[in-house]
């Protein structure tokens, strides 16, 4: 796919095709206009924005174009350099900034880049605000200021150290260090290289660090899926390591490989961290409607509960803040502890998994074996948003006798399975996700939903 995508997660495009300096400048100007139209600066005089980027080779020109657009609009920019997405979110709070901007395309391949926006609460703007930013981008009428209102950009190099310190504040450093865990990490030459090495060093780990040069030249497809992590799995076995961790380029997602070199899946990142947190402090966990039921099983075992939200990191964070949750996240390897960062954070995931291993004395495979196992099946089809709503209404009628949640498309729960059907926020498609203990049951539930889709759409 070669397109410029603009949605609730910001903007992404392909370098040399849909994303060039002119497009970045235009979007930065639109974001500055949005700030001036919809908000008041915290300092009473001008807006301050922290800016970070992942390690992609295109990141330098994306940064330069974005900083030019913001500065020309009278916004003060604090350049953080190559840092993680959770690091930028942390620095929004630490510096008292009005917003944050990250040059990243998350797990997309090297030819992609983009801009992700964070509001003053260090979370992605809600859909209404994202729509306003998109409208200003389409209007393309930047409001640049006179020379006397220009504020020079500055730089700040504190992000890595502060991020590591925040994570260490919430784990038993000595308890983990005495175990001398051997850990293999694949940072995919992304933004997580520096912080991961520092964190694990301070936790007394024997670190084998793969792809640890933050130059953005990804040695494999950067999404941390099983097919892309064969090197990590092999190295864990060769090194006889206790665990293997994999990050995506901006280090907000975490995948895990056990001591046998077995990829256990991104869903387990949140499940294992919830197991640790609830063993220390039972309470509410928050996850989106498409995340595994493993979380419900863990919560029930610890006298805790689960709140489900619409898909989207910002929705999970808002749900956590509203419920006072002890842990939250998404099934894509996104672990969230709002005390540290109000967003997905692979460093939090690594630290909490190591803490769980240290507390229990169990291997990763043993810990995974304690959690009920499920199979998730995913499919999608082209569908206009108005047609997706017709599908949702039909599914509500068809499965009215089951437990139904319609806050984001429709999720249907049975005793041993669930299906979530929802329109994409960024593409004209509808996704159907099912989970059950056995693949055949998950496939059957998807087929039941697809039969309704066929009847409605033909």
Angle at CA of residue 295, ends 294 and 300, nearest 5°: 100
Token reading at 245: 């961790």
CA-CA distance, 445 to 454, in Å (whole number)? 14
CA-CA distance, 291 to 297, in Å (whole number)? 12
Nearest alpha carbon to residue 195 among 340, 76, 359: 340
Q: Which of 106, 196, 291, 292 is catalytic?
A: 106
CA-CA distance, 93 to 317, in Å (whole number)? 15
Read out DSSP for 234-287? HHHHHHT-SEEEEE-TTS--EEEE-TTS-B--THHHHHHHHHHHHHHS--EEEE
Read out DSSP for 372-409? PP-EEEEEEEE--HHHHHHHHHHHHHHTTTSEEE-SSS
Instruction: With residue 208 as reference, give the H or E element that holds it.
Output: strand 206-210
Cα dihedral: 107, 110, 115, 120 (round 10)? 40
- Count of all residues that appear for the chain in the document: 458
CA atoms within 13 A on the CB side of 143: 13
CA-CA distance, 452 to 250, in Å (whole number)? 39
Left if phi > 0, otherwise alpha if psi is -120 to 50, otherwise beta: which for 87?
Answer: alpha
CA-CA distance, 374 to 436, in Å (whole number)? 5
Token reading at 378: 């995913």
Read out DSSP for 14-28? EBTTTB-HHHHHHHH
User: Does 106 qualify as catalytic in the annotation?
Assistant: yes
Token reading at 87: 């690091």
CA-CA distance, 257 to 325, in Å (whole number)? 27
* Burial class for 202, CB neighbours closer than 10 Å (0-12, 13-18, 19+): middle
Contact criterion met (CB below 8 Å) for 196 and 185: yes
Contact criterion met (CB below 8 Å) for 271 and 291: no
Nearest alpha carbon to residue 195 among 111, 80, 73: 80
Q: Indicate which residues carry an active-site annotation.
A: 106
């Amino acid at each position: 796919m070669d397109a410029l995508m603009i949605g609730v997660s910001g903007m992404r495009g392909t370098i040399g095709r849909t994303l060039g300096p002119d497009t970045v400048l235009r979007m930065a100007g639109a974001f500055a206009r949005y700030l001036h139209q919809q908000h008041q600066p915290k300092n009473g005089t001008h807006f301050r924005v922290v800016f970070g980027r992942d390690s992609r080779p295109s990141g330098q020109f994306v940064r330069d174009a974005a900083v030019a657009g913001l500065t020309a609009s009278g916004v003060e920019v604090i350049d953080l350099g190559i840092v993680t997405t959770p690091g930028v979110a942390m620095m929004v709070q630490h510096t008292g900034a009005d917003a944050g901007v990250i040059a990243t395309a998350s797990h997309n391949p090297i030819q992609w880049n983009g801009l992700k926006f964070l509001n003053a609460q260090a979370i992605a703007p809600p859909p209404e605000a994202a729509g306003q930013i998109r409208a200003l981008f389409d209007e393309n009428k930047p409001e640049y200021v006179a020379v006397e209102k220009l504020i020079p950009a500055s730089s700040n190099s504190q992000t890595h150290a502060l991020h590591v310190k925040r994570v260490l504040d919430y784990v038993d450093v000595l308890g983990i260090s005495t175990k001398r865990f051997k850990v293999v990490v694949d940072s995919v030459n992304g933004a997580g290289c520096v912080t991961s090495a520092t964190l694990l060093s301070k936790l007394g780990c024997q670190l084998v660090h793969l792809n640890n040069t933050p130059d953005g030249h990804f040695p494999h497809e950067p999404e941390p899926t099983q097919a892309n992590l064969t090197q990590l799995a092999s190295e864990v076995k060769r090194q006889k390591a206790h665990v293997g961790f994999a990050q995506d380029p901006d280090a907000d997602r975490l995948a895990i490989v056990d001591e046998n070199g077995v990829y256990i899946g991104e869903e387990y990142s949140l499940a294992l961290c919830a197991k640790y947190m609830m063993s220390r402090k039972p309470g509410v966990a928050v996850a989106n409607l498409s995340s595994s039921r493993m979380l419900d099983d863990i919560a029930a075992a610890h006298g805790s509960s689960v709140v489900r939200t619409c898909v989207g990191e910002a929705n999970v964070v808002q749900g956590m803040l509203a419920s006072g949750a002890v842990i939250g996240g998404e099934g894509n390897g996104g672990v969230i502890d709002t005390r540290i960062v109000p967003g997905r954070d692979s460093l939090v995931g690594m630290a909490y998994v190591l803490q769980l291993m240290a507390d229990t004395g169990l291997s990763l495979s043993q810990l995974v074996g304690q959690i009920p196992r499920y199979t998730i099946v995913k499919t999608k089809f082209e569908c206009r948003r108005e047609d997706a709503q017709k599908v949702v209404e039909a599914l509500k009628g068809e499965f009215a006798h089951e437990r139904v949640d319609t806050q984001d498309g429709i999720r249907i729960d049975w005793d041993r399975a669930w299906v979530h059907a929802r329109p994409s926020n960024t593409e004209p498609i509808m996704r159907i996700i099912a989970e059950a203990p056995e693949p055949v049951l998950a496939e059957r539930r998807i087929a039941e939903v697809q039969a309704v889709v066929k009847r409605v759409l033909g």
